[in-house]
Structure 1
Amino acid sequence: MEQGAGAVSASLEQYLRASSKIKKFERAGFFKRFAPSVGDVQADFQRLAYSFEEAGILQYAAMCHIGYAKCESYGGAPQRESEAYLRAARSFLRAHNETGRLHLRTRHSGFREGALHCYHRAAERAVDGCVFKAAILRELKQLQRQLDSTSSFASPTHQIHDLETSAEASGQRGDYRSALQHYDDIVDNVYERRGARMYGELLRRVEVLRLLLLVHLNLPPARQSPAHIKLIEHYYSLAQFESCSDDDGGASSVERPGAFVPSQQQYALAEIACAWVERKMCDLKHLLRDFATEFGALSGAERQLLRVMHADLARSY
């Protein structure tokens, strides 16, 4: 028994070290030669995932699969990234079902929320129209039917997913004010539930979209919310090489602008914000085009908005 506990403890320490390496890789930015080897970190996550599965600690196995998926994202392999997220979703779901079978008093919706989040990420990264994506959606629909039949369970993931779907629909029909409102609601929803770390990639793309929408809508300060002003100030200050104030009225670090946006993207967005604030519209047009070219992993909604903004500016500048 003690041997097993020691093995689990060692695996947890190894998981934390692997996670630390991922953070170092993310922070490395332009200086990739100083970053840890992604392949080595990926191998660690894969080995640890199987180790946790054998030990029956399925939620940690799921987190290792998520780490593996992040490594695949750096290598530009969306299909393998999708497969890793699917493994994570299944592990979270098994963890949820296991707590139900054991009738644990501490059972909560966190594992099921994790499963939903990972199913959505798996579907998002899978190739459209492929058999694999169809299989993911079948599993996701089955889980959602179970949730719909549970009257006492209101899924935050459902609400967030619905808000993002509504925002994208608003953007497609040109209703950019509604799209901005939906993205604002997503941020409020995630922070209210203290779930920011679970939705890091979502918060990244939502922050990018919110800033771009504020630039595109060209709202005067009187029409901007305090959150909008704070977002613009963060990126404009970054462009001026000014350090942003740490006084956020007690807000945690994950709630500050830029918390989930990689440094390279932040500096590119800072140039866009600066060009807009200073009314350098020709520069803004080129910066938008460069942003779309430089960052290959942008979502469809991000790319569509960048195309619309560039086309609008190209007609006048």
Structure 2
Amino acid sequence: MDKLRGGSLVGGGSSSGMGSTNPGPEQQQLEQYPKNLIEQYLRASSKIKKFERAGFFKRFAPSVGDVQADFQRLAYSFEESGILQYAAMCHIGYAKCESYGGAPQRESEAYLRAARSFLGAHNESGQLHLRTRHSEFREGALHCYHRAAERAVDGCVFKAAILRELKQLQRQLDSTSSFASPTHQIHDLEISAETCGQRGDFRSALQHYDDIVDNVYERRGTRMYGELLRRVEVLRLLLLVHLNLPPARQSPAHIKLIEYYYNLAQFEARPCSANDGGSVERPGVFVPEQQQYALAEITCAWVERKMCDLKHLLRDFGAEFGDLSGVERQLLKVMHVELARSY
């Protein structure tokens, strides 16, 4: 493309006049550039049709690998040219080639690239105030997102990423649809918990975090969600301290969590880890040992009503562990500010 642009500039400098009606060969080549790409796309598409019609006589069909390489090359060319809708169609062609090879993950990735290209064309048409913005490009993106989600492995992080992008485009995504994977449900619960925490509804936030833990344990997917379970355990314990619920309002899981960290502070328990070989549903399994001891001190200060110590421990916890999430830090800040008002 750069060579063509450079050629057109050279041709423009050597033309006989500004008003010349006979464009040079470089300008003709530039004008034919999109048309040539489209013709190549149509030829590649016709090869796929030949492959589909070949049936049992696959040896007479074109090579799938060659057709796939054509689509990949054309997709990049269309993207460089800014013709995103054709880039999307080339990615779809690439995905169809992957379907013949029995590679659902790579097929899903190709459909995701197609969806993003269609979405780019949709957004670009909106910036240009084109009348077609509301229809085919957006529908093409939705179709490709759905196809990408269908072909992705259920429960994987990649599928959750697809669904997050899809939900931005289709906000009323049916929660009972086949796209509501366990990973997607867990992500939605975490977002809901964060939203509740931001508006000060800490009881609802605690309930959502409880639901996340129940969801993960029920599906036996604990090791896949180790970091999430660490983060959720810290948040659940801090929320229990912040809400100061009486025992009658605590669930058995809450009591078990508090007792574990209090006993750890009293040296009546040893830190748990995922390598102990025991149940992964115990408190502390996915929390680093150093964090466990820090949380144990916080729990002990709260249970024994040493509120000044609790205030300082919360501050020290945030300062000591630099890998805490933004949600954890925000909750620590809220707790520290509230305690500072009275102690």
2:336 maps to 1:310? yes
CA distance in 1, matches of 2:168, 2:221: 20
TM-superposition CA deviations, 1:91-149 (whole Å, max 9, x none): xxx9643699xxxxxxx998342233784xxxxxxxxxxxxxxxxxx895159989x69
- Aligned residue number for residue 166 of structure 1: 192
Task: Choose which of 141, 148, 153 in structure 1 pairs with 2:165.
Answer: 141
- Aligned residue number for residue 214 of structure 1: 240
What letter matches 1:115 in structure 2? Answer: V
2:320 maps to 1:290? no
Query: Tell me, which stretches of 5 or more residues in structure 1 are unaligned?
Result: 1-93, 101-107, 120-137
- The offset of 1:237, in angstroms, is 0.4
Q: Is the 8 A contact 1:95 1:111 kept in 2?
A: no
- The offset of 1:151, in angstroms, is 4.3
- Aligned residue number for residue 267 of structure 1: 293
Q: Is the 8 A contact 2:163 2:184 kept in 1?
A: no
TM-superposition CA deviations, 1:153-207 (whole Å, max 9, x none): 5311111111101100100010100000000000001100111111110000100
- Aligned residue number for residue 111 of structure 1: 153
Q: How does 1:67-146 map to 2 (within 5 A)?
A: 96-97=104-105, 111-116=153-158, 119=161, 141=165
- Count residues with an aligned counterpart: 194
- Aligned residue number for residue 229 of structure 2: 203
What letter matches 2:314 in structure 1? Answer: L
CA distance in 2, matches of 1:294, 1:160: 28
Q: Is the 8 A contact 1:166 1:179 kept in 2?
A: yes
CA distance in 2, matches of 1:192, 1:110: 22
How large is the RMSD of aligned CA atoms in angstroms? 3.1
Q: Tell me which structure has the larger Cα radius of gyration.
A: 2
CA distance in 2, matches of 1:245, 1:209: 18
Which SS does the other structure have where 2:287 is aligned? Answer: coil
Kindly tell me: are residues 143 and 178 of structure 1, through their superposed partners in 2, closer, same or farther at Cα, counting changes over 3 Å?
Answer: closer
CA distance in 2, matches of 1:263, 1:109: 39
Q: TM-score, normalised by structure 2?
A: 0.51
CA distance in 1, matches of 2:187, 2:296: 28
Q: TM-score, normalised by structure 1?
A: 0.55
Which SS does the other structure have where 1:253 is aligned? Answer: coil
CA distance in 2, matches of 1:96, 1:111: 8
Query: Tell me, which stretches of 5 or more residues in structure 2 are unaligned?
Result: 1-101, 109-149
What letter matches 1:214 in structure 2? Answer: L
CA distance in 2, matches of 1:209, 1:263: 16
Aligned-residue sequence identity (percent) comes to: 74
Kindly tell me: are residues 303 and 255 of structure 1, through their superposed partners in 2, closer, same or farther at Cα, counting changes over 3 Å?
Answer: same
- Aligned residue number for residue 194 of structure 1: 220
CA distance in 2, matches of 1:295, 1:169: 24
Kindly tell me: are residues 109 and 236 of structure 1, through their superposed partners in 2, closer, same or farther at Cα, counting changes over 3 Å?
Answer: farther
CA distance in 2, matches of 1:282, 1:316: 9
- The offset of 1:152, in angstroms, is 3.6
- Aligned residue number for residue 230 of structure 1: 256
**Which structure has more RCO (C-alpha within 8 Å, separation ≥ 6)?**
1
CA distance in 1, matches of 2:271, 2:157: 36
